[in-house]
Amino acid sequence: MPEISVVIPVFNKAAYLQETIQSVLAQRFTDFELILINDGSTDNSLEILHGFSDVRIRIIDQENQGLSQTRNTGVLASQADFIALLDADDIWLPDHLDVLIKLRNSFPEADLFGTGYEEFYSTGKLLKPRLNLKIKEAHLVTDYFDTSLYQPLIIPSGMAFTKVGFLAIEGFKNPITYSEDVDFLIQANLNFRLAYNPKITCRYRSYVPNQISSQKKSELQAPKFGAILRANPEHQSLHKYIQFKRYFLCIFYKTEGRLDLFSKLKKKLDPSVLNKKQRFLLNAPRLILIVIRKAKLFLLRRGFRFTAF
């Protein structure tokens, strides 16, 4: 039995698969299995998957079921009780699995694990995320929601978890098609300890085709944030974290011209958590938001971050 199972869901990512899979096979820690799930791709992704002959690779070919179910399928098929996720367009640095294994050995009380990451753009620029975190060494995170107020402390490609923990929170929720990882990480951090090493071991490829972040948010199903808040009424940092998620969704809805969804969600938003810049953007005309979004993307691709925080 391998010490860790690696799960990669694949949907129309032929342009990136070779580099992604090679980054796994190049890991210094070698006692792993690699589960590749082709989720009904219509490009030549499946052909690329079959082009690898490593004995540690298993391929599952299925009709399209969506990201949540595909991740669940991979985890349930895993032989190890320790699972790492990797998106099909992201990249691991050679020490990623080694860092995760050491994290688990150092913090046996944890069921959730994560490492540092950096954003990778088509221009070749690398950009570190802005985190609300001061600790520079491996540690148990005391408040995931506070550390993730600006940007996520961990991303799916930098995340690992025990199979027992995954099953306890019933994995990724199928109805959710936007921020599946946000919902999963909320449930995981409400129930388990998170061990985190800020060392950068993975690269998140930003703004690529068929990526959830590039799709219209108004056409996707977001997590049921209201139900989460009602179940945890006294959790202050969770409240603030979710309000910021609602704020970002409001901005997306207005930018996409869905003023009906914008108005509905704005009524649920607690404006007291927002700063002056965020309140201005929330009430700004749609055209201004579109211009700002284009300018932000232009700067990001050149290694500069413009933020409302």
Of 145, 170, 133, 152, the C-alpha closest to 242 is 145
What does the DSSP 8-state code read for residue 302?
Answer: T
Of 7, 5, 15, the C-alpha closest to 38 is 7
pLDDT of 302 reads 82
Task: Quote the CA–CA distance of 289 and 285 in Å, as a whole number.
Answer: 7
* 162 lies in the same domain as 252: no
* 205 lies in the same domain as 221: no
What is the largest distance, in Å, between two alpha-carbon atoms of the chain? Answer: 57
Which of 167, 188, 209 is the endpoint of a domain? 209
* 196 lies in the same domain as 243: no
Does residue 309 belong to any structural domain of this protein? Answer: no
**Could you tell me where the DSSP H helices lie in 26-66?**
45-49
| Residue 306, phi-psi category: left (phi > 0), alpha (psi -120 to 50), beta (remainder) | beta
* 159 lies in the same domain as 46: yes
Are the CB atoms for 75 and 163 separated by under 8 Å? yes
Does residue 308 belong to any structural domain of this protein? Answer: no
pLDDT of 209 reads 60
Q: Whole-model pTM?
A: 0.93
Per-residue pLDDT of the chain (309 residues; tens, 9 = 90+): 999 999 999 999 999 999 999 999 999 999 999 999 999 999 999 999 999 999 999 999 999 999 999 999 999 999 999 999 999 999 999 999 999 999 999 999 999 999 999 998 888 888 888 898 888 999 999 999 999 998 999 999 999 999 999 999 999 998 888 889 999 999 999 999 999 999 999 999 987 665 555 578 888 888 899 999 999 999 999 999 999 999 999 999 999 999 999 999 999 999 999 999 999 999 999 999 999 999 888 888 887 777 776
Tokens representing residue 55 in the block: 């004995």
Residue-number span of the structural domain to which 241 is assigned = 216-302
Of 277, 164, 180, the C-alpha closest to 224 is 180
* 149 lies in the same domain as 18: yes
* 140 lies in the same domain as 68: yes
* 286 lies in the same domain as 150: no
* 52 lies in the same domain as 174: yes
CA-to-CA separations, 203 to 48, 96, 128, in angstroms, rounded: 21, 11, 10
Does residue 307 belong to any structural domain of this protein? Answer: no
CATH number at residue 142: 3.90.550.10
Task: Quote the CA–CA distance of 130 and 137 in Å, as a whole number.
Answer: 17
Q: How many structural domains compose the chain? A: 2
Task: Quote the CA–CA distance of 179 and 166 in Å, as a whole number.
Answer: 17
Of 281, 289, 123, the C-alpha closest to 207 is 123
Amino acid at 168: A
* 15 lies in the same domain as 154: yes
Tokens representing residue 119 in the block: 């954003």
Are the CB atoms for 160 and 113 separated by under 8 Å? yes
Which of 164, 188, 209 is the endpoint of a domain? 209
* 62 lies in the same domain as 169: yes
* 182 lies in the same domain as 223: no
* 232 lies in the same domain as 140: no
Which of 209, 237, 266 is the endpoint of a domain? 209
pLDDT of 108 reads 97
pLDDT of 207 reads 73
Long-range pairs, 227-236, Cβ under 8 A, ≥24: 228/186, 232/190, 235/145, 235/190
